[in-house]
Amino acid sequence: MSPQPSSTNPNSLKIQLAYQFLHNLNNLNSKRSNLATTHIRQRSNRVKIAAYASMAYVVGSRRAWSRAILRTIRNRRMLARNKRVDHKITHRPRSAKRRNPKRDYVDPNGNSGQEVKLRKLVPGVEKMDACGLLDETADYIKYLKTQVEVMKNLVDLYSTI
């Protein structure tokens, strides 16, 4: 679904993000038909997911953070389709696995601070080294920035019309 590979031209990036985002919004609206009935929080959560998904789709599999986002989206979709108790079961081992590597990272170096926080913020960088972490962070920031601008413009446009 993502368009041709993006140049580093910010304009084209914004356009791609915009298209992808609107596409995802449409999908959202078409799938969940009861817009009026669903709570505002659920709706805003879906829009948020659509925003992150659109970012990830535009980037594709090139980046660790985009892969992580796509993975969570697919997992979510699979879980939603299954709609079984497996939902709870799959969560537990995942969280247990997640906890341990974090502690290993924190304890030996005695570093409780910033890198751990950064790893929490940027998806998919849990096990990367510092170089990769900074790389992914930079990319993530770039896409987040443009996504925020796209959304701002959308909101502006809709609020004036």
Summarize as ranges the residues that interact with other proteins (CB under 8 A).
Answer: 3-4, 9, 11-12, 14-15, 18-19, 22-23, 25-26, 29-30, 35-36, 40, 43-48, 50-52, 105, 108-111, 113-115, 117-118, 121-122, 129-131, 134-135, 137-138, 140-142, 144-145, 147-161
Min dist. Cβ of residue 90 to other proteins (A): 25
Is the Cβ–Cβ distance between 91 and 32 less than 8 Å?
no
Min dist. Cβ of residue 89 to other proteins (A): 29
- Amino acid at residue number 48: K
Min dist. Cβ of residue 63 to other proteins (A): 14
Nearer to other proteins, 39 or 83 (CB): 39
The distance of Cα 23 from the centroid of its chain, to the nearest Å, equals: 16
Tell me which residue has tokens 């356009």.
15
Nearer to other proteins, 78 or 138 (CB): 138
Return all residues near 90 (Cβ < 8 A) that are at least 6 apart: 75, 79
| H or E stretch at 16 | helix 10-31
List the Cα angle 100/104/106 in 5-degree steps.
115
Nearer to other proteins, 48 or 87 (CB): 48
- Would you state the structure tokens that stand for residue 110, as one six-digit string? 């005695």
Q: Which sign does the torsion angle of CA 144, 73, 136, 6 carry? A: negative
Min dist. Cβ of residue 83 to other proteins (A): 24
Nearer to other proteins, 90 or 128 (CB): 128
- Would you state the structure tokens that stand for residue 106, as one six-digit string? 């924190």
Min dist. Cβ of residue 41 to other proteins (A): 8
Nearer to other proteins, 51 or 70 (CB): 51
